[in-house]
Structure formats: C-alpha cells, structure tokens
Amino acid sequence: MGAGASDLARLVEAELGRPAPAEATLLAGEIQRRWGAAVAAVLFYGSCLRRGSPEGVLDFYALVDSYERAYRSRALARANAWLPPNVFYLEGAGPAGVLRCKVAVMSLEDFERAASPRALRSSVWARFCQPALRVAARDEDASRLCVRACTAAVLTAFERLLPLVPGSDGSRPFRAEEFWQLAFRETYGNEMRPETDATIGSLYEAAPERYARAARGALAELEERGLLDLERRGGETFVRLPAERRRSGARSWRRRRRLSKLVYAAGLVKSAFTFGDWLPYALWKLERHSGARIVPSPRQRQHPLLFGWPVLLRLLWRRQFR
C-alpha cells in the first residue's frame, strides 16, 4: 500500500493479510474448486475467526467476477444478482474431522457497493467493519479491492451510526466502546437477530485496541472529508456532527431499518432454494443448540424442499439460520 494510505487503510490491510489458519485455508481451497476460475478472493470472518477455533461453522465470502461465470445454473446466477448473496453450506475433511462452513457468494462489484453508504442493508458493512482475513486472492487488483471495501465498511458504520450516539453534538467525549456496542446492537437488530448485551460486549472485548484504532482512523478520515468536526480537550476527543446531519442520519437509519428487515426476510426465504444441501446443516445446527439428535426421514433426505420445511421453520423461529 502506498505511503499516502490512511491509518485506517493500513490497519485493514494488515488484518486482511495475516496468516490464515490451516482449516480456513483448506476450506478456501474447497471454495475455489467449487466455483472455479470465477473466484477472485475468499474472505474469512465471524465467530470462528474471533475465537481462533475451527469448532462450529466457519464463515466465508467468495467474491466472484460475475455470477454467470460462477454458476452453470442460470437460475442461481439470476437469484444471486437479484438479491445477493447466495449462501451455501460446504464440508471438507480436516485433520481432526469434518470441517463445516457457510459461503456467501457475491460479485466484486456488489460487495464493494454493499460495503459503502449506498447499501440498503447493513449485512456486508456490519460484518466487515469487524476484523477479517483474506484467505485467497487471485491477483493484486482483487487484494486491493478487499482492502478498499473493508476500509469503506468501517467508514460506513461511522457515517450511518454516529448520528445515533449520545453526545455526537459535541456535548460529551467520544467513547469507542460505546460506539461499537451501539453499532453491533443496531446492525444485528437490522437483521432480525437481536443479541444479548453479553454477546454484544464480547464482540468489542475480542479486540478493544483494534476497535479503538479503527475508530480513530475513521473519525480522522470523516473529518478530512468535512463530515464532522473533532475537538480534543484534556486528553478527550469530542465529535461534533452538524445538527441537520444528526437529524437526517437518524431518520435515514430508521427508514432503512424497516426496509432492510423486509429484504432480509426475503433473503431467508430465498436461502431455502439456493442454500444447496441445507438439510444436513440445519439438522447439525438444531442438534448443536438443542442437544437432541434429529434423524431425517427418507423422503426429507430425498426431497428437502418439499418435506424439509419443518426443520427449516424451527431454525427460522429460533433465528439460527444465519
């Protein structure tokens, strides 16, 4: 990255470029085999990355050149273009047993747009304002796009959510912990998956120094763009958003929140048709959370879309089909 890169971009580039765990590398290879030459980059994120453990389901984004190149099925390509991403469940053989992952397939163009303030939904920028790893990249162009989009995701979080932070009129010091916990709470709520205060707190506590540095970098960039004013007094930073920006930002967030819930619900229904072999994943997820082993009937195995709905609806009811 060039000498003129911002501190935030340097932070993101260093995060994305960290060595990937062996399990993530193995699954990235499975992803590249599944979608072939269309795959430009593979990003690893989520709870398994935070915990540093392959136990559970690893989360990936596969960024592709185009949906037409990624699929033989025209229907899957159209569904992906209509409401990205398509989400799939994959398994791979690891040294200690079966590795499981979810893969969200998105075009490079759609991913960059979804990380920006133009996005209707918060799903991409809310995930990638958090630490992520670039497990694979085809070339420098793909690598740079990942850095650019993930940097934009942090900036989008601040543009969208600073108006909701108490004291954004400059009346009280900015607190990174307060901002990030509000951001996680609001964006999870956007996806109809509210989390407990303990879970929200754990996201921040997983990397408090990182989040503090990301906040400093984002605020500095937004100040350079003239979107806010920073004042430093007595070792504290005060953020002042113009009054109209605070009001319009809060109104915009409320409107987008209502719309994005509808879009998110549509995406869940679409997942039942595009998730691929989702029945083993659904059964594993239910068993993991309930402790009860569920054996599908022969006709559920043979025709999951026709007869597997009771399993899927139980997951949707528990908000675990994520």
* Burial (0-12, 13-18, 19+ Cβ within 10 Å), 49: buried
DSSP three-state, residue 173: coil
| Close Cβ partners of 197 (under 8 Å, ≥ 6 residues apart) | none
The predicted structure's pLDDT at residue 78: 93
Q: Could you give the CA distance from residue 168 to residue 262 in angstroms, rounded to a whole number?
A: 29
How far apart are alpha carbons 140 and 54 in whole angstroms?
28
- Report how far residue 47's alpha carbon sits from residue 272's, in angstroms, rounded to the nearest whole number: 23
Would you state the torsion angle of the CA atoms of residues 161, 166, 171, 176, taken in this order, to the nearest 10 degrees?
-60
Report d(CA 175, CA 184) in Å as an integer: 15
What are the Cα distances from residue 249, in Å, to 88, 156, 173, 175, 258?
A: 34, 12, 20, 19, 15
The pair of three-digit structure tokens given for residue 58, joined into one six-digit string:
């690893």
Measured in residues, the chain has a length of 322
Task: Please report the pLDDT score of residue 303 as a whole number.
Answer: 45
Cα–Cα distance, 254 to 266 (Å, whole number) = 19
Say what the pTM is.
0.85
The torsion angles phi and psi of 213, rounded to 5 degrees, stand at -65, -40
Q: What is the pLDDT of residue 97?
A: 86
Work out the burial of residue 195: count CB atoms within 10 Å of its CB; fewer than 13 is exposed, 13-18 middle, 19 or more buried: middle
Strand order in the sheet with 133-137: 86-94, 97-107, 57-64, 39-45, 133-137
At 147 the pLDDT is: 98
pLDDT one digit per residue (tens) for the chain, 322 residues: 655 679 999 999 999 999 999 999 999 999 999 999 999 999 999 999 999 999 888 999 999 999 999 999 999 999 899 999 998 888 888 888 889 999 999 999 999 999 999 998 899 999 999 999 999 999 999 999 999 999 999 999 999 999 999 999 999 999 999 999 999 999 987 776 656 778 888 899 999 999 999 999 999 999 999 999 999 998 899 999 999 999 999 998 888 777 777 777 777 667 666 665 556 665 655 555 444 455 555 655 554 544 445 555 555 454 444 4
Residue 60's Cβ-side half-sphere holds a number of Cα atoms within 13 Å equal to 33
Q: Which helix (H) or strand (E) holds 97?
A: strand 97-107
Q: Where are the alpha helices (DSSP H) in the chain?
A: 7-16, 22-35, 47-51, 67-70, 74-82, 108-114, 123-128, 140-161, 176-190, 197-205, 208-224, 243-274, 278-290, 298-302, 304-307, 309-318
